[in-house]
Amino acid sequence: MNKSICIIGVGKVGSALAFELSTTGYEINYLIDRNIESLELISSKLNPIISSSDIKKEFIEGADVVCICVQDKYLNSVVNEIIELDCNLDNRVFFHTSGAESSAVFPSEKFNEKFTASVHPIQTFNKVSFANQHLLQNIYFGIEGGESAMELAKAFIGKMNSKYEMIPKDKKYLYHSACVISSNFLITLLNVSSEIIGSMGIEKSKAFEMFRPIINETLKNISKDGLVNSLTGPFERNDVETISRHLNSINKELPSLIPFYTLLGMETVKVAFKKESLNLKNVVTMLDLMNEYIQNEFDQTNKTII
């Protein structure tokens, strides 16, 4: 059955959702966003659509489904605006796309819990969409909420040829931290690589070009053989001498990166142990080595403060 849809917030996520739902046959009737220029351009490409820079009562009551796609810091204020409009909220489905917040942002005394949900796309959106970039196809969504809302969310996701995982309501922040590590921290990881390359006199801008083949091959290996079995390098082959020299070089040239290397190194030791490349004795030797540098860093910090 066709549903009348209102999207509040057509920024990076909301614009992608609007085009994707429209392409898969759903009717987008209302768009709301405070960036009028962007709103008008998106609306013109999805005609006929009614749009506004403000949340209007007739938009909420005219929709079967309201999708709130705003930044987390604005989510509660948007929900409160809807409540203050004193709309008839009966039998309307309310989604939000936050990765961190749960469906609990919709107060149960105002919204029917059966019809509220959080539906978070596990995807990165770095710009507003003005056409369908298919960013929501063939991905996973983390979802939780009421029975009726879940039924509709699963239908939306299926239409986009995507999959979903149910996330416990009280574990949303933990779930979102995993998403941040997978995307945001990947950029941080590559930025650290560029800092190290730059310290050697090589242009930092060349770092991604240099490391792209090894990144791509690593991702292929993970896809084919799984995470643990794809681990290679000095941690996997118990090359303590090379790791020690890494630490020594970093400590001399870029000491601020010692905590970064040792923390990731300790986690990599765990992966190598899971792969059974290291025994317990190897693990203890490597952890002791890295703890030595952590202690040195701690001592130096204390001296500076004193």
The C-alpha atoms of residue 110 and residue 204 are separated, in whole angstroms, by: 53
- Residue 115 confidence (pLDDT): 97
Residue 251, both tokens: 């400590």
- Residue 302 confidence (pLDDT): 60
Q: 123: which residues sit within 8 A by CB, 6+ positions away?
A: 135, 136, 139
Check: CB of residue 104 under 8 Å from CB of residue 169: yes
Q: Would you give the distance in Å from CA 125 to the centre of its chain?
A: 9
- Residue 69 confidence (pLDDT): 98
What is the phi/psi pair of residue 142, to 5°?
-95, 120
- Residue 280 confidence (pLDDT): 97
In the chain, the amino acid numbered 39 is L
Residue with tokens 């300790």: 266
- Residue 270 confidence (pLDDT): 97
- Residue 164 confidence (pLDDT): 98
Residue extents of the structural domains in the chain: 4-167, 175-305
The C-alpha atoms of residue 24 and residue 18 are separated, in whole angstroms, by: 10
4-167: CATH homologous superfamily?
Answer: NAD(P)-binding Rossmann-like Domain (3.40.50.720)
Within the chain, which residues score under 70 in pLDDT? 1, 297-306
Helix segments in 118-257, DSSP class H: 147-159, 172-199, 207-225, 240-253
The C-alpha atoms of residue 227 and residue 295 are separated, in whole angstroms, by: 30
Cβ burial, residue 72 (10 Å; 0-12/13-18/19+): middle
The C-alpha atoms of residue 177 and residue 182 are separated, in whole angstroms, by: 9
Cβ burial, residue 293 (10 Å; 0-12/13-18/19+): buried
- Residue 2 confidence (pLDDT): 75
